Chains A and B, each alone.
Chain A
Amino acid sequence: MIRFAVQGLLARKLRSALTAIGVVLGVALISGTYVLTDSITSAFDSIFTENYKNTDAAITGKTAFDAEEDGTVTAPPFDAGLLTQVRELPEVGAAGGGVGGEAQLIGKDGKSIVFGGAPNLAFSVDPALPQFNSLTLVSGAWPAPGEVVIDTHSAQEKGFAAGDSIRVQARGPAEQMRIAGLVEFGAVSSIGGATLAGFELGTAQRLLDKTGKLDQILIAKKDGTSEQQLLDAVRPILPEATQVRSAEDQAAEDAAGTSSFTSFLQTFLLVFGGIALFVGSFVIANSLSITIAQRTREFATLRTLGASRRQILGTVVLEALVTGLVSAVVGLFLGLAIATGLFKLFDAVGFTLPNNGLVFRTRTIIVALAVGVLVTVLASLRPAWRATRVPPIAAVREGATLMPGRLHRFRPLGAALLAVAGIALVLIGLFVDGLSTSTLLSLLGAGVLLLFIGIALFSARLVRPLAAVSDPVARWAVVVLTAIAWPFFLFPLWLVRRLRGRPAEFPRVLPDGPAVAIGGQNSRRDPHRTASTAAALMIGLALVTLVATLGAGIIKPFEQAVDGIFSADYAITAQNNFSPLPPTVAAAVAEVPGVETQTSVRGGQAKAFDKTITITAVDAEAPGLLTFDWRSGSQASLGELGADGAIVDAEYADNHALSQGSRFAMETATGKVLQLQVRGVFRPPAGGSPFGNVTISTETFDSTTSQPLNIYTFVNMRGGVTAENTAALGNALSTFPNAKAMTREEFKKAQTDSVKSILNVLYVLLALSVLVSLFGIVNTLVLTVFERTRELGMLRAIGLTRLQVKRMIRQESVITALIGAVIGIVLGLVLASLLASRLEEITFTIPTSQLVIFAIVSVVVGIFAAIWPARRAARLNPLEALQYE
């Protein structure tokens, strides 16, 4: 039986391969995701392990609570005197202290060196204690006071060498320094694009504003002492707000932030792999349905020869199993290419990930194979069951077709019920309160899945009317696209062919009425087939539309919010729009002549009501430049927060029963507990609040934070936005290359750009499902051409030219794509409106221009999908076609 199945597959190589493409791409994304995230994890692990290779214990400062890694909160440094005490302990063999932070290296173009949003690390190096130094000196020397060593990657990319001079900026303004040498981290030239700046301890302390302080002490135990003895010895001498950990624990702690990031990334990408596979399963089910219909006589012959229904079922499922296995293996290895591609993709959107080589784990192999085989076999069940319904008599009948199943007439009803159940699940998920996030997500996921399947099954009913409407649209869309492509592609192609002396018909733009008309008719003749082919594209387009609509729904209110809140002429932010900046930047801006008022918003984290929350702080100038939508309190209270005043957002107030005048306690990162009183409650803007849950005064914030940072600075200038003012600000910021001044319009745009780049990543990932559905259309068309061989022969015999055959196939393809697009876009809009009606942050906005683009993309998908099947059809010799049986 296995041999029979394999031989059957080999006999239909092309069709089997086409069927498999959906699975291959889905599995590839899943395997690619695992390879990517495993590689990132291993790269980080190697970094963190390298850091502590000769260390037995590490002393670090301690935040009062577990802060999230957003760059605003760092553990407070401790007094450098601790190092002497530690060195005096009998259990300690060696101990070295260091400080770390961020410092920008400034390129020759005056811009700070950043590779794809990766951090700019600064730290002290102590060549006297090489065992604690994870850097390798590649050229030059270790830094003397006032010198710097930088990483080879940055040096190569930006044209620096040892002995050159470079500007470096940390907490204060940029300073000119000599490059003492070039270094590498371990043996890696770049840690995910991060730039490295190493200084002698004193210099580092000064630059990072940590004079007399240390961030970390690394300790090696004396021979004959156990790690536990070392830890026990260190603990009693530790001052407050410090902790000691074994090197292993410290490495794990360092890795914790990155591992939560990689696990998020993994889930995120797996979702898209799952979507591609889901679309792929439609392609498989559809292809198998068609091939099985075409093999009716074969199955009937097997039945007359004595094969049981079970054996027929077994053959088909076995074929699917083999197809699934082969395509899963191919997908598995394609995943390596996908992982490389994803690294590049993230790099391109400004998010470089560390990569020390691809990691291919057993888990990846097992999951990819299992998922690929499972999806294929599941998708084959229905077609396989239909194959068992072929009666033996079909073997001797001319033109026998597959009988409709017994449940055939209940199909529309069943499909509608599935879709309704899907919608119901989505509604429950959205509108029933108090569901956990995972319940909510699984309800939504399952609901959307059911909805897609239901609509896909039901849409056969919609094919005829939709095809009738799409027909002229497809005709003219193709004409327009052909006209656009004519001077760039069609005409040159024709010219080249003619010049090579090959026959080619001069490319015409106007539609070929008769050929296109037959193509249009063809799209209507098997609604079930057209519907299932279109369904694959429908899923992709529904999701793309959903994303675009939600994106538009977020961007618009977000712009309004930015407009409403910030009324300043200029905003100062980091080059990447989100990194916090040291307050020295704002101080430099204050010196600019013409500045009338200026306010900075500090960002950080704190703990209140037992939870880590984001907090912001505003200064006395805030009322003039920031406008809140007050529930209670007023603009004036914004400037008078003092030592104990706080402003909270409305939702946070409701969740914790806070109102005007209520008191609550908040613990800051340094461990200080503030007793705060609510002075105002504001309604955060739809689209996300630019402020933390709690906002306090800048003085209070600074007195309880080790190294305060600004997330925004706003400036009003005499004369408003003028070229002179812009130049003056730019001039003042020249010593802070990481900072930039933007006009209000630019600021607004920059804020929305970040949302847009997330949307772009989503589009790219969803494009994979659209690609799978393109292959689905190719597949159906190839099978259809195969099935209609005799008919094509007749058409050729009575006068259809090759070009007309191609246009006929193309028309059918474009109509199919348009049907998928129409249903998909409508479905996407419905889903988006449901979400928008639930989420206050999103207003339902139809992204008209994007939808038009999606429709055009669908037409292009249709055109591309038709190319190859159309060529095959056109190449058919009319004679072979007539003799074909």
Chain B
Amino acid sequence: MIGTEGTAARTNTGVVHAEDVVRVYGEGDTEVRALRGVSVQIDPGQLTAVMGPSGSGKSTLMHILAGLDRPTSGSVRIDGIEITTLGDDALTKLRRQHIGFIFQFFNLLPMLSARDNIVLPLTIAGTKPDPQYFENLVERVGLADRLEHRPAELSGGQQQRVAIARALVSRPTVVFADEPTGNLDSRTSGEILALMRGSVDEYGQTTVMVTHDARAAAMADRVLYLADGEIVKETGRSSQHEILQIIDTLDLQ
């Protein structure tokens, strides 16, 4: 299986390192310290969940780790490359190679077929997918018979499957998922989470998922709890019940 090969290759290479990341919005009276010195390391081949209430800085952290936003101070390295000093073009090209995204609102291009949406990151980078890997991936996300459909002809769950395949197609160093189930009903959410878990297990795909859904966090190998711009706790694989308890005790609600 190609995934095994990929896992072997990737476990030795890149991960994400963040050191003392501070992010301040605004100035003076309106100053908001979204992140107050976060240091974190994302281990390869793991599904990491970032939990926290709204305003805790979890989205900001993800945006900074993914190279979409710049920290006020601190360092972020992806695959050993310091990204905080990169120019826009270099950063864009780094994202092409190292980062995959799964969005809450799927964000598919409406005029492209599912197939074209999936291969879009490769198309943009000017390359083509490995046909065997592509077939395997499509099979895995269960879209083999839906490839020629446009987003409007797909259900929400199917659209998010396309988005997952799109994130995985370039075999990025790390996939960031922003509330991937936030816009889905609970049954579909379950399917999507299983799929993401599967991609970690089968392809060894390093994944970071931002969520406030305890059920989603329960699928993760590691859960980071954020409050007021700081990581306040970290656990290993936990059940939904345990996670809810931790949230309760930390008063994160």
Contact = CB atoms under 8 A, between A and B. Distances in A.
Interface of A: 398, 503, 505, 513-515, 517-518, 521-522, 524-525, 790-791, 793-804, 878-879, 882
B96 interface: yes
B109 A791 contact: yes
Contact of B109 (A515, A521, A793): A521
B175 to A, nearest CB: 11
Contacts of B123: 514, 517
8 closest residue pairs by CB, A with B: A799-B96, A794-B107, A525-B111, A514-B123, A801-B92, A798-B121, A521-B111, A879-B68
Given A515-B124, A517-B123, A790-B107, A798 B87 contact: no
B126 interface: yes
Interface string B84-108: 0001110011011000110101010
Contacts of A505: 89
B192 interface: no
Nearest to B112: A521
B172 to A, nearest CB: 10
Considering residues A514, A525, A795, A796, which has the most beta carbons from chain B within 10 angstroms of its beta carbon? A514
Nearest to B166: A798
30 contacts: A398-B183, A503-B87, A505-B89, A514-B124, A514-B125, A515-B124, A518-B109, A521-B109, A522-B111, A525-B110, A790-B105, A791-B109, A793-B107, A794-B103, A797-B68, A798-B96, A798-B101, A798-B166, A799-B96, A799-B121, A800-B92, A801-B88, A801-B89, A802-B89, A802-B92, A803-B89, A804-B124, A878-B68, A882-B68, A882-B107
Contacts of A793: 107
B36 interface: no
Contacts of B95: 797-799
B167 to A, nearest CB: 8
A521 B123 CA distance: 13
Given A524-B111, A801-B89, A795 B124 contact: yes
B92 A796 contact: yes
Contacts of A513: 126
Contacts of B121: 798-799
Interface string B121-138: 101111000000000000
B124 A800 contact: yes
B63 interface: yes
Nearest to A885: B105
A808 to B, nearest CB: 10
Contacts of A522: 111
B120 interface: yes
Contacts of B126: 513-514
B69 interface: yes
A18 B202 CA distance: 53
Nearest to B88: A802
Contacts of A801: 88-89, 92-93
Interface string B174-197: 000010000100000000000000
Contacts of A791: 107, 109
A882 B101 CA distance: 11
Nearest to B66: A797
A61 to B, nearest CB: 77
Nearest to B183: A398
A513 B126 CA distance: 7
B92 A799 contact: yes
A800 B123 CA distance: 10
Contacts of A794: 101, 103, 107
A878 B62 CA distance: 13
Contacts of A518: 109
A503 B123 CA distance: 26
A796 B178 CA distance: 16
Given A514-B124, A521-B111, A800-B124, 5 more contacts: A794-B103, A795-B109, A795-B120, A796-B92, A882-B107
A515 to B, nearest CB: 7
A167 to B, nearest CB: 70
Contacts of B178: 882
A518 B126 CA distance: 13
B54 to A, nearest CB: 13
B124 A799 contact: yes
Contacts of B68: 797, 878-879, 882
Contacts of B96: 798-799
Contacts of B120: 795, 798
A524 B111 CA distance: 8
A801 B120 CA distance: 14
A882 B69 CA distance: 11
A663 B183 CA distance: 95
B109 A882 contact: no
A799 B93 contact: yes
Nearest to B110: A525
A504 B111 CA distance: 32
Contacts of A796: 92
A868 B92 CA distance: 22
Considering residues A505, A514, A797, which has the most beta carbons from chain B within 10 angstroms of its beta carbon? A797
Contacts of B124: 514-515, 795, 798-800, 804
A65 to B, nearest CB: 70
Contacts of B166: 798
A398 B184 CA distance: 13
A796 B93 CA distance: 10
